[in-house]
Amino acid sequence: MESELQKKIKDYWDQQAVLNREKTDSLKVIDWESDYFIDSKGQGGTLKDSNLRELEIQNVVREIRKGEYVLDIGCGNGYSTLEYAKRLKDVRLLGIDFSKEMIKNAISLMHDDYPQLVSRVRFECHDILELSALYEEEFDVVCSTRVVINLPSWQLQQQALDEIRKVLKRGGRLILLEGSVDAVERLNAVRAKLKMKMDRAGNWHNVFLRDEDLKNYIRGKYKLIKEIYHASTYMLITRVLYHKVILGKFIKQFTYDEEIFDAASKLPNFGEYGYHKIFVLQKI
């Protein structure tokens, strides 16, 4: 049964989706309290930081093979789902989200901007916790981008991972791009050296994952293929260096459009500091 907190989280995402239909470009302004932004191009419900989002998409796309059937859970407004479809020509995708308002946005985004993808992409409204009632060992790949962290306890998160396993084919892969408490702690240790305020692990509606919990959970269920810290250099530069040296020192409001964000996203990647990380897991 859905708890009060789960209902509140669902309402929050419905509201974000409705706001997303309005023009609110000012929300591109950097606000460390909220990583999500909304704009007139229909990119709300996803990351405010478009360079970070691009790094995510590039890394997810690298893990998907020609001809695969992909389930994108918690697809939000479908921005990333449609990007996967654009970049992976022979792949079919199903995007699901429990917010019907998000799904409405995803469907309009596809029909308005990418009508050529309609034959390969579908969007449906479902809860991750009810996946196995709908599908059975159907997908080659499941992608989860900052979705499981919206379930308010590790117990529910494990339930979601069990549901995902049931809908994956044997040998199918889960690309789990979620918030990592361990990575936040590493980034905070660097911030502490520079006497900066600690970063929180997500927003009020997020519970970030612990690497050790996840590694214990997957035993006998999934094989760990790889861990990817896709935005490690990027986070050190934008969330530490830039934040320390530039941000807040001028009256001007800074946005994620500043050149440094684009430049940082093009540097070689090193370290384990990105607070969103990717686990690629294979169903046993």
In the complex, which residues of this chain contact ligand SAM (CB under 6 A)?
13, 45-46, 74-76, 79-80, 97-99, 102, 127-129, 145-147, 150
Give CA separation, 101 vs 128, 215, 217, in Å. Answer: 16, 34, 33
Q: How many CB atoms lie within 10 A of CB 127?
A: 20
Q: How many CB atoms lie within 10 A of CB 39?
A: 17
Q: Which residues, at least 6 apart from 49, have a Cβ–Cβ distance to it below 8 Å?
A: 35, 238, 256, 261
Minimum CB separation of residue 35 from ligand SAM in Å reads 8
Residue 160 in 3-state DSSP?
A: helix
Minimum CB separation of residue 96 from ligand SAM in Å reads 6
Q: For ligand SAM, which is the closer residue by CB, 128 or 264?
A: 128
Q: For ligand SAM, which is the closer residue by CB, 54 or 227?
A: 54
DSSP 137: S
Q: For ligand SAM, which is the closer residue by CB, 79 or 254?
A: 79
Q: For ligand SAM, which is the closer residue by CB, 146 or 186?
A: 146
Q: For ligand SAM, which is the closer residue by CB, 42 or 45?
A: 45
Minimum CB separation of residue 252 from ligand SAM in Å reads 28
Minimum CB separation of residue 273 from ligand SAM in Å reads 20
Minimum CB separation of residue 91 from ligand SAM in Å reads 17
Q: How many CB atoms lie within 10 A of CB 114?
A: 15
Bridge partners (DSSP) of residue 132 are none
DSSP 149: G
Closest CA to 182 of 90, 269, 274: 274
Minimum CB separation of residue 150 from ligand SAM in Å reads 4
Q: Which residues, at least 6 apart from 91, have a Cβ–Cβ distance to it below 8 Å?
A: 64, 66, 67, 68, 69, 70, 84, 85, 120
Q: Which residues, at least 6 apart from 250, have a Cβ–Cβ distance to it below 8 Å?
A: none
Q: For ligand SAM, which is the closer residue by CB, 71 or 147?
A: 147
Joined tokens for residue 179: 């918030």
Q: For ligand SAM, which is the closer residue by CB, 55 or 192?
A: 55
Minimum CB separation of residue 60 from ligand SAM in Å reads 9
Query: How many degrees, rounded to 5, is the angle at CA 94 between CA 90 and CA 96?
Result: 155
Minimum CB separation of residue 245 from ligand SAM in Å reads 29
The residue written with tokens 């996840």 in the block is 214
Residue 13 in 3-state DSSP?
A: helix
Q: For ligand SAM, which is the closer residue by CB, 144 or 232?
A: 144
